[in-house]
Structure 1
């Protein structure tokens, strides 16, 4: 049998302690002849002294019986100070079994009896060499594993920070929204993000990517970037989900997709739109009665599965009240299992939502119910939950929601300021859409973007965005589609109105909407004027210049009344088919500007 010499190539650094100088020298000379380095100690105390100065020994050979400190005590004290495994060999003239057991119990690894048989000593030393080589290998692998772990942790920390910044930087902090985000691993494949548009709409998305961990989290990056950009610009939910699907389908592997519930809430009209693709149903919960007012089940497959021709972007619309709450979650919540494998389910969630125990808030009640149901075991899937009280979605430009039967005329008119007549320079643009192009047209975000590039920002821009959005909606809904606002007088009627609007829009093949915007200046005075026209028959209106005897009724739509409140002037032409509003951006007093638009008139 050929012995593997590879493990024996390294010599050992050996400490020998024996009070018998003859035995000490004999053992030392033999081990030196075997190629090892040897340090000799006269007794146990001397051995400990040498060990204190040099901790790099690879083998200890200790006589059991020595003065001052015997071998067993010396062995025990060395073992306590060692930071790694080093073999210890006890040498004794006593061959009794009890003595050997005592030495091994203290920590000795080998036991030799006198007279020493050098063949056995050689075998023990070689065994120590192999053990030492194995120990060094284990330590090296352990060091490499620790280095890898530390680097992996560092990489994970960096990845987590980057993903948190990418996935959550757009998340609204001004809402009274509450979240449960419970990842199954170190990274979450779920996402909850909210974003406000310039017209004060709130957009929210609850998303669940295929799989878990870092790959699932990376999948969400293109989704959150697309959602944030389009919702920030005020695009419709239909446009947002259509673009999300296109982006994800082109960027993800075919086996990857994202279940998502995309929602839009408009505070000044108290309407909402929801597209649910593959998520558990979304709940509209009445806070006062703790009853479920409406549910929005998944009516579409997840994003990233269907190609553009087969993808359905149709949304569900409804109205809401300020005392209601939206509850949306990923499937990790409803598919949570108890120790027996039973699922929490939609019914389990609904039991918590409709519970009348008001001693706990909703987010804690659901969290506690999940912990109790699962016996607080770690989640097998990412679990995320959004609780959004709809009363927290404020419209800062409006004190109260405008109702359909609010006939108050609160138009603010600066009749002494006519900047258009005095205009000596400024910006102008026009845009129109006709025929079936109106089906997918997104005029409001385009116009708002251009106005922002004109230099209109801040509170004035927010007012302009709302006015543009509402007048365009009015022109399409009532002018082109001929919709009747009276349908929206109750929640059920609003749903009917929304369905009918989508039906008429899908069948549209004629008609048009046109918009013109001017930013005029005279000196350092500026005013934004926007005109919206449609090809419809018009409607009754009440002009601020009309006399009390005018028989024309005030428009019944909320949007027109809101524009009256926000704009400095609102006028109608062409029997109501054309509306024009003006917002004073900068009105100078004694030649001193109140506000500067440096993008339009740079300082010299």
Structure 2
């Protein structure tokens, strides 16, 4: 639309633009186009003209890299408002658009800006105002482009970070799932405060059917905390599988973390060992909330294992204490352990849930039977709308499932199949070991036996049965033969704790005495038979028959050996025990 009163260019206001722009100028009036084009080109811009909206849209589709649009509102074929709408719907990124019109009514300006125009100028065009508007558009465009580049850089960073996180998550899952086939039958919940959890629950069953659990809480949150768990989990798996004592596992974990973690980083942990056949429970608590032994039916807490040690990785090896708490559990009981993210949940008014809150819930007769669900619901209600600041991890371990041995039925040697005095038809192997005096204080016989059984190719239930029998008879030889402990101590109130303390004291004072193990595997006719004898330097017992009394604090070890072995005998007044097991599989010859 023509406007012959247009203000001429004011060269006094011209200045060098920040950059040369490629401009699409759409106006049906030739004179207006010539004036604006001449003005813009003198400022260094490149201008493409169009006489109507359709021509302008065609020019845009032919080459869409325009950096500024100047559009007259009133044009034939396609008006400026329609062109503005079409351009804004098509553009992939922001490009400034200036509408020009002879109509200075406020409603028209509002309509143009609502459609998507960025600036609105009325005719006659003021070229100083046009210059200022173009410069303002350039500044906004530069800011927009800078923001787009930064967003692109952030997106690249996010994508890389996401890829790194995915890789880290896969590594962590591989490590934690490496023992899935050995995981103890437990209920648990791990609720991370971020993408990664610095908490972890790991469980392993050893060859001797001992069950080990590791409830860990690393310093901090997210990926750095999760990475802290990796060396600890690897160490725990290795030592627990081989049946090391819980105190040894705690010490090795501390030494490993002391060497690998940066200053100020550590691992709060609850280490648990359960021995199903003797119903022994051992706990090492370093910097974690208490663990509880709970009687589900009466909702009574029968034992509480508080933190007696600092977290793993804090103390140097020479200052570290690995002493544990021990008790006897009943199959009807449940073990509950958690990380501090559970007890440190805060309510909207700043109150902390605390160990007291957890204990009240555990003993509440009205709570949900499903303990994991009950704790989760209670924490949600307590926290309200407040988001958790720490990872929350809860372990609920029903002990009834652990009391059922995973070792199946065993074959029995008939009297006519006895192998005493018979020569083996084919070759076999033989080994012996002995531990005397001070060496008994630190000796780890269970892993040693496990390695020997694995080395000779003994596998399957035969290996499991042999491992349990050897460990039980070695324990019996040390406790009663060498140390002279009386099992009746366990029948007193807190008897097992007293028994264990006395055992530790006598071991520390031990200067002489020892245990000796001899084992052979030979094939007789159509059978391979493992024979193991264990002797001690004690006086022995006149009658070593396993007691018939099923009272769980004592006597269960020998009853278990009678059940798992094919034949159990005693010699030397009880100072030597010997058992046979018919082997169901030998996977390889000894190397």
Structure 1 length as normaliser, TM-score?
0.88
Aligned 8 A contact 2:459 2:586 in 1: no
| Partner residue of 1:562 out of 560, 563, 588 | 560
| Partner residue of 1:456 out of 446, 458, 464 | 458
Residue 426 of structure 2 corresponds to residue 416 of structure 1? no
Aligned length, in residue pairs: 569
1:517 is aligned to 519
Residue 568 of structure 2 corresponds to residue 598 of structure 1? no
- Residue 422 of structure 1 and its aligned partner are, at CA, apart by 1.5
Alpha-carbon distance between aligned partners in 2 of 1:317 and 1:436, rounded to the nearest angstrom: 23
Between 166-175 and 510-519, the greater mean CA deviation after superposition? 166-175
1:397 is aligned to 407
2:471 is aligned to 469
Alpha-carbon distance between aligned partners in 2 of 1:33 and 1:249, rounded to the nearest angstrom: 73
- Taking the TM superposition and a 5 Å limit, the aligned residue runs for 1:178-193 are 178-193=187-202
Between 282-291 and 492-501, the greater mean CA deviation after superposition? 492-501
2:238 is aligned to 229
- Taking the TM superposition and a 5 Å limit, the aligned residue runs for 1:518-597 are 518-522=520-524, 525-541=527-543, 557-585=555-583, 595=585, 597=587
Between 76-85 and 565-574, the greater mean CA deviation after superposition? 76-85
Aligned 8 A contact 2:569 2:578 in 1: yes
- Residue 99 of structure 1 and its aligned partner are, at CA, apart by 4.0
2:83 is aligned to 74
Give secondary structure in 1 for the equivalent of 2:417.
coil
Q: Deviations over 1:204-243 (max 9, x none)?
A: 0111111112111111111111111111001110111111
Residue 336 of structure 2 corresponds to residue 338 of structure 1? no
RMSD of the alignment, in Å? 2.6
1:441 is aligned to 443
Alpha-carbon distance between aligned partners in 1 of 2:162 and 2:225, rounded to the nearest angstrom: 18
2:281 is aligned to 272
Alpha-carbon distance between aligned partners in 1 of 2:210 and 2:134, rounded to the nearest angstrom: 80
Distance change >3 Å, CA 533–CA 497, structure 1 → 2: same
Alpha-carbon distance between aligned partners in 1 of 2:173 and 2:271, rounded to the nearest angstrom: 20
Distance change >3 Å, CA 543–CA 318, structure 1 → 2: closer
- Residue 52 of structure 1 and its aligned partner are, at CA, apart by 4.4
Aligned 8 A contact 1:239 1:313 in 2: yes
Alpha-carbon distance between aligned partners in 2 of 1:426 and 1:333, rounded to the nearest angstrom: 55
- Residue 468 of structure 1 and its aligned partner are, at CA, apart by 0.5
- Residue 339 of structure 1 and its aligned partner are, at CA, apart by 1.2
2:482 is aligned to 480
- Residue 201 of structure 1 and its aligned partner are, at CA, apart by 0.8
Aligned 8 A contact 2:184 2:205 in 1: no
Aligned 8 A contact 2:69 2:96 in 1: yes
Aligned 8 A contact 2:284 2:324 in 1: yes
Distance change >3 Å, CA 420–CA 92, structure 1 → 2: farther
Residue 109 of structure 2 corresponds to residue 104 of structure 1? no
Between 199-208 and 504-513, the greater mean CA deviation after superposition? 504-513
Q: Deviations over 1:574-594 (max 9, x none)?
A: 1111111111226xxxxxxxx
1:350 is aligned to 359
| Partner residue of 1:8 out of 4, 8, 18 | 18
Alpha-carbon distance between aligned partners in 1 of 2:296 and 2:111, rounded to the nearest angstrom: 75
- Residue 478 of structure 1 and its aligned partner are, at CA, apart by 0.4
2:551 is aligned to none
- Taking the TM superposition and a 5 Å limit, the aligned residue runs for 1:146-165 are 146-165=155-174
| Partner residue of 2:31 out of 22, 42, 65 | 22
Between 281-290 and 357-366, the greater mean CA deviation after superposition? 357-366
- Taking the TM superposition and a 5 Å limit, the aligned residue runs for 1:204-353 are 204-353=213-362
Aligned 8 A contact 1:411 1:564 in 2: no
Structure 2 length as normaliser, TM-score?
0.90
